[in-house]
Amino acid sequence: MPSENRVKNEIQRDTLANKKVMKLKITSGDKVVKAILYENPTTKDFIAQLPLTVDMEDFAGKEKIFYPPKKLSTAARKAVSDPKIGDINVYAPGGNIAIFYGSYSGSRDLIRIGRITECIDVINVTGTVKNVYFELVEQ
């Protein structure tokens, strides 16, 4: 598990590399997860479906997944060779969105659309997380 300082440094580098930072708020009950979104065609398709309430299922004990109402563009697909805990990805073949809370290996089928910046522990729980609300928020 990476140290909290290392994760914060990676988030800061990601934020600085992305000049147009879009922020995502993910609410589960009274808990809030904050994230940044990256600028690409897949992210734009996702944003167009917000706000959105979904149930997030556990997958392989390392990610929470859900299927958006409409399939997202996968034109920007490329290998994600440097996977990080907290990444928000679209798995192109299945069309699901996956938020990683455990380690995983790279894949040519993932499109990174964002990154959790605060409170990833909210999704690092056993089983399905119900009624999770996603919304774009002002910077």
Cα atoms found within 13 Å of the Cα of residue 113, Cβ hemisphere only: 27
Compute the mean pLDDT over every residue in the chain, rounded to the nearest whole number: 86
Predicted local confidence at residue 58, as pLDDT: 95
* Res. 104 pLDDT band, cuts 50 70 90: confident
Instruction: Tell me the Cα Rg of the chain.
Output: 14
Q: What is the pLDDT of residues 32-88, one digit of tens each?
A: 999 999 999 999 999 999 999 999 999 999 999 999 999 999 877 776 777 789 999
Residue 117 in this model has a pLDDT that exceeds 90: yes
Please give the Cα distance from 126 to 59 (Å, whole number).
10
CB 117 within 8 A of CB 33: no
How much of the chain, in percent, has pLDDT values that exceed 90? Answer: 61
Predicted local confidence at residue 16, as pLDDT: 45
